[in-house]
Amino acid sequence: MFKGSVRVLVPALAATCLMAGMAQAETWRTWAIHPEGYPNVVALESFAENVSAGTEGRIEPQVYANGVLGSQPDAIEQVRAGAIAVGNFNMGPMGEIVPATNVLSLPFIFRDIDQMHTAMDGEIGQRFSDALSEQGLVALSWMDSGSRSFYNTKRAIKTPADMEGLKFRVMNNDLYVQMVDQLGGNATPMAYGEVYQSLKTGVIDGAENNYPSFESSNHYEVAKYYSVTNHLIIPECICVSSRVWDKVSDADKEIVTQAALDAAEMQRELWAKESDKARQDVIDAGVSVNEVTDPKAFQDAMQPVYAQFIQANPDLESLITDIQAVE
Ligand code: GTR
């Protein structure tokens, strides 16, 4: 379902407005890393349609899927610069630019996905939005990205000792290098788009991600062991460039914000279904999925990562404890 070429959404309203001699539509290039059919891209396309309809064609988001506008770290910079208007960003690679978001990259920071939603939809989410806005990004809503687990081409990981000698691709953030180090493996930061080939050629032995990404990226074709560690639960935003946002009228801001909130709600529903389906699909395709025998061993190994993080970022300690206190 994820296959297919990039579809650029050009709503009919734009043409109608132009024919009627109305002001030219403001085109908003929208960056998405995932392919068509992926919950985030389906939701972004709905966002685009609703923004176009709601603003009567004044704003025309165009969704570029498959990361064709650049890697995630590049796209974050392009959105900050206003060269791309909107991005659906994971908070993982965001940490290099907005340090507070690194709290979301601490392994096991959330107990489960419901707790993450409660935190991000409330005052805690607002604190992250404030930090993002200081770096030129307006977070309009929060999408789900499930939880991430390790997979590899060699063997099932049951205890941290099984990580030893394996090289794992991680997203671009030093915290993940520390995380894998502490578990006894080797980490290599790498762009998402390079992982498939690197797994295939043996440059890396594994990576870590949620089921829908594991499936849609085709990593499951090569990495036949998926071990459920659930070590990271990282939310994603629909983020608009402040440079673009500042030119939008208050009335249109309201329309765009509502469309982003609706898109996130849609994405979360699609996500829950797609996650279960992707799990079954990869099992049907011959992937061996195992639960780790001692999750606590993985959690305990993260203590030095937390200690070092708090030492380097004492101002973020209260954010950590506030998240942990969310019911
Ligand atoms: C996915 C996430 C992407 C990207 C990717 C990765 O789960 O939705 O934004 O961060 O993981 O591993 O690079």
* 179-231 pLDDT per residue, tens: 999 999 999 999 999 999 999 999 999 999 999 999 999 999 999 999 999 99
Q: How many CA atoms lie within 13 A of 153 on its CB side?
A: 19
**Among protein residues, the one whose CA lies closest to atom 3 of ligand 1:** 90
Burial, 251: exposed, middle or buried (Cβ in 10 Å; 0-12, 13-18, 19+)? exposed
Residues with beta carbon inside 6 Å of ligand 1?
33, 72, 90, 92, 145, 171, 192, 209-210, 213, 236
- Token pair belonging to 155: 């063997």
**pLDDT confidence band for 22 (50 / 70 / 90):** low
Rg (CA), the chain: 20
DSSP-derived letter for residue 18 is: H
Atom of ligand 1 lying closest to residue 191 CA: 13
Lowest mean pLDDT among 20-34, 59-73, 162-176, 271-285: 20-34
Is 105 strand, coil or helix? helix
Query: Phi/psi of residue 30, each to 5°?
Result: -120, 120
Residue whose token pair is 């991005």: 87
Helix axes 303-312, 174-183, angle to 10 degrees: 150
- The beta-strand segments (E) located in the chain are 26-31, 59-64, 86-90, 137-143, 148-152, 167-170, 186-189, 206-209, 225-232, 236-241, 288-291
DSSP-derived letter for residue 205 is: S
Distance of alpha carbon 292 from the chain centroid: 24
CB 171 within 8 A of CB 92: yes
> Pocket of ligand 1, candidates 34, 150, 213: which has the most ligand atoms within 8 Å of its Cβ, to mutate?
213
Query: What's the pLDDT score for residue 2?
Result: 52
Query: What's the pLDDT score for residue 4?
Result: 42
Which residue ranges form the domains of the chain, and what is each CATH number? 11-104+112-144+234-275 (3.40.190.170), 147-233+284-325 (3.40.190.170)
Mean pLDDT for 241-268 is 98
- CA distances for 238 relative to 139, 172, 220, 267, angstroms: 6, 19, 27, 11
CB 148 within 8 A of CB 231: yes
Atom of ligand 1 lying closest to residue 209 CA: 7
Atom of ligand 1 lying closest to residue 146 CA: 7
Mean pLDDT for 295-299 is 96
Atom of ligand 1 lying closest to residue 192 CA: 13
